[in-house]
Amino acid sequence: MNEGTIGKSTISVPHLTLGTMSFPLDKQSVVTLLSRALDQGIIHIDTADLYDFGQNEALLGQFIKHHRDQIVLTTKVGNHFNPKTKDWFWDPSSQYIKTAAKNSLQRLQTDYIDLYLLHGGTIKDPIDESIEAFEQLKKSGTIRAYGISSIRPNVINAYMNKSNIDAVMMQYSMLDRRPEEWLDVLHEQQISVLARGPLAKGMLSSHALSSIVKKGKNGYLDYNYNELRQTTEQLFSLDEPLEKLAFQYVLKHPAVVSAVFGTSNETQLLTNGQYVNLAPMNDELYQTIQQITKKSFYTMHRE
């Protein structure tokens, strides 16, 4: 199994991570999906306390309690939610982070979290206070490592300079190349990138054209509808499965330790999971894709 180490921690993960946000809300489906993932060597499972207002973690926990030693577990915190009213607000306070960690442990039926991520964030947050909470959780053994899920340059820069984060989760794909400005510096700082959304809502999959009609009809980031179709057709002409190219592309830079793909059914899981042991993309193909796609840039939240 191809794998990499998250940041400066001792946590090893395969190059594909299973995101569970779209999981169905029934136990048998969750058991089936997680069993198939482990069978394929996809041992890194990504969730968040906000997904289905805690139900996602609770369903995962019914499986995890029987397979904890086989699983690397990531969850997220920062959205203070009420599971009854389904309301939430942003709360990166130390008190909430520590309380939410206890609640996640109960739902997940485990006594530790491998990687704990702040689920968003702004430059106006009490960042020092948030960092202190994560450090205390790490010192107590509640979590093994921590990081942030954010693409905001000012937030990434603040945590990179103030904390001991091991990972940054960022949306990254051939159609969303905004994170590329960060890859070299994060790699130099031994901070790993978890690339979420590598298939761009299915627009970088074998069903790309139908996905573009449904999800890209009003465009996607720097692409209008026609550009999406033209770009996808050029990628198809490379004569490789689009899923394979999508994963290989984001994994090309050594800063990226794993690509996080979501699934809602077994067919999607088996299709994507076959690429868990991908060989690296060659330089020529990588450069060709960079010529086909746009080099996008995140213009907001820079100060």
Residue range 57-78: mean pLDDT, rounded:
98
Look up residue 240 and give its DSSP letter. Answer: S
What length does the chain have?
Answer: 303
In contact, 89 and 121? CB cutoff 8 Å: no
Residue range 122-147: mean pLDDT, rounded:
98
The total domain count for the chain is 1
Q: Of 137, 189, 200, which Cα lies nearest the Cα of 118? A: 137
Q: In Å, how far are 64, 91, 229, 261 from 45, measured between CA atoms?
A: 10, 24, 32, 10
- The yes-or-no verdict on residue 130 having pLDDT over 60 is yes
- What CATH number does the domain containing 10 carry? 3.20.20.100
What's the pLDDT band for 150 if we cut at 50, 70, 90? very high
| 108: in domain | yes
pLDDT per residue as tens digits for the range 195-236: 999 999 999 999 999 999 999 999 999 999 999 999 999 999
| 302: in domain | no
Residue 183, classed as helix, strand or coil, is helix
Amino acid code (one letter) for 288: T
| 297: in domain | no
| 135: in domain | yes
Q: In Å, how far are 33, 54, 103, 131 from 111, measured between CA atoms?
A: 23, 17, 11, 21
- State the residue range of the domain holding 145: 3-292
In contact, 95 and 61? CB cutoff 8 Å: no
The pLDDT of residue 2 is 62
Is 112 a catalytic site residue? no
In contact, 170 and 187? CB cutoff 8 Å: no
> Which residues face 77 on adjacent strands?
118
Q: How confident is the prediction for the chain on average, in pLDDT? A: 97
In contact, 143 and 288? CB cutoff 8 Å: no
| 118: in domain | yes
Considering the candidates 51, 116, 146, 172, report the single residue annotated as catalytic: 51
| 115: in domain | yes
Residue 76, classed as helix, strand or coil, is strand
| 303: in domain | no
pLDDT per residue as tens digits for the range 23-42: 999 999 999 999 999 999 99
Work out the number of other CB atoms within 10 angstroms of the CB of residue 123. Answer: 14
CA separation for the pair 118, 167 (Å, rounded):
10
The pLDDT of residue 303 is 84
